[in-house]
Structure formats: structure tokens, C-alpha cells
Amino acid sequence: KRLILIGPPGSGKGTQSPIIKDEYCLCHLATGDMLRAAVAAKTPLGVKAKEAMDKGELVSDDLVVGIIDEAIKKPSCQKGFILDGFPRTVVQAEKLDDMLTKQGTKIEKVLNFAIDDAVLEERITGRWIHPPSGRTYHTKYAPPKVPGIDDVSGEPLIQRKDDTAEVLKSRLEAFHRQTEPVIDYYNKKGVVSQLHAEKPPKEVTAEIQKSLS
């Protein structure tokens, strides 16, 4: 399957991705995760992306399109993929179409994580992550067994630098202005499934499974 996950910050894309990925044997391509790894490693890409990310603005289309173009060709992605956080602008969506047309494939489903903005601040400010594995926790909704420690590896959890109420405002603004038009773009193609992303994680998973069956 070739899937896109679209939704505002904190809507649950990164929480659902590992579950869906394992169930359907897909690769998980999350541009935010890839960019954060590049920032941490101080690669040329990371250096270019850092300023926009810290402010909660989108990085340039060329940078992220380059990352996806390279990743999507990998053997592990040939059976299918989940795009989490990409495309986020109509230009990115058009470039993705070009890439897939060249491969003779196309997007089968766009999962729209619909949710009210008011719920997101609590989700974002309570989030803790384990970057090496991508595991995500929440102080209230998905607490680790030991606070600040990853359940599986015993390694420390961290909070994202952009997970403040202040930066969230810019991220939400970018979502409404630049990413919501992408949902319309795919609505015209008739491939969008709307999820009730405010429901508990297991119910959201069930909705996704239903829409993919």
C-alpha cells in the first residue's frame, strides 16, 4: 500500500505509523524524524533546516522533496510506504506525483487525521519521545513505566525543541495555510479517508484498518 498521513501537529500520525507499518509491511518515511536526525548530526541538510524547524515554519520544498525522492527508491519501500508529514504543500504533492508516475505507481489512500486545534496543545506539551526507535509517550495518555525512560531500551526520553505552546501556534498556522490545501488536492482525486483523530489511539487504529480493508 502507498499511504499518506496528513494532520496537524499532535494529531497522532507518528503514533499510528508504527502499528500500520508492521501490519502491512510498509516502510515509514517521516520527514520530521529525518530532518531532526539531520539536525542532531549537524549535516549540511540539518544546518539548513534547523532555523525553520525551531520557529515552527516549514523548511523549503526542495530540501524535503530531495529527501523523499532518495528514500522512496530504496528496496525496503518497494512493497509500499507510509508518508508521515509529507507532502505538506501543494508543490510537494505535485512533485510526489511526478516521482510516482516515473515508478509507474500512485498514492492509494490519504488518511486525514481530523481533529480540533484546542486538543493539540495538551498532546504536544505532554509528549516524550525516544528518538532511536521513534517510540512516543505522553505524560497523561501514554505514560512510560518509569517517567523519562523508554520502556524497551531503558534509555532516556527527550522532549522536542518545537513542542512548546508558543512554537505550536506557528506550526498550526503553517498547517492551516499550507497543508490544508493538500487535503483538497487529494479530495479531488477521491482518495481521502477522514479519521476521528480525537478518539483514543486504539479506536483511531481501528478506523484506519477499516478504511484500508
Q: Exactly one of 6, 11, 72, 185 binds ligand AP5 (CB under 6 A); which one?
A: 11
Active-site residue 13, yes or no?
yes
Task: Give how many residues touch Zn ion by CB under 5 A.
Answer: 1
Question: Exposed/middle/buried for 200, CB within 10 Å: 0-12, 13-18, 19+?
Answer: exposed
How many angstroms separate the CA atoms of 197 and 208, rounded? 10
Q: Exactly one of 6, 29, 64, 192 binds ligand AP5 (CB under 6 A); which one?
A: 64
Active-site residue 127, yes or no?
yes
Report if residue 205 touches ligand AP5, rule: CB under 6 A.
Answer: no
Residue 104 or 130 with smaller CB distance to ligand AP5? 130
Q: Exactly one of 105, 125, 136, 194 binds ligand AP5 (CB under 6 A); which one?
A: 136
Q: Which three cell numbers stand for residue 60?
A: 523549503
Among ligand AP5, Zn ion, none, the one that 136 touches (CB under a kind-dependent 5 to 8 A) is ligand AP5
Q: How far is the CB of 127 from ligand AP5 (least distance, A)?
A: 3
Active-site residue 88, yes or no?
yes
Q: Exactly one of 91, 142, 149, 183 binds ligand AP5 (CB under 6 A); which one?
A: 142
Task: Respond yes or no on whether the N-terminal peptide bond of residue 201 is cis (omega within 30° of 0).
Answer: no
Report if residue 130 touches ligand AP5, rule: CB under 6 A.
Answer: no
Report if residue 15 touches ligand AP5, rule: CB under 6 A.
Answer: yes
Q: Exactly one of 7, 8, 12, 14 binds Zn ion (CB under 5 A); which one?
A: 14
Candidates 194, 185, 179; CA nearest to 64 is 179
Residues in contact with ligand AP5 by CB under 6 A are: 7, 9-15, 31-32, 35, 52-53, 56-59, 64, 85-86, 88, 92, 123, 126-127, 136-138, 141-142, 171, 200-201, 204
Active-site residue list: 13, 88, 127, 160, 171
Q: Which residues bind Zn ion (CB under 5 A)?
A: 14
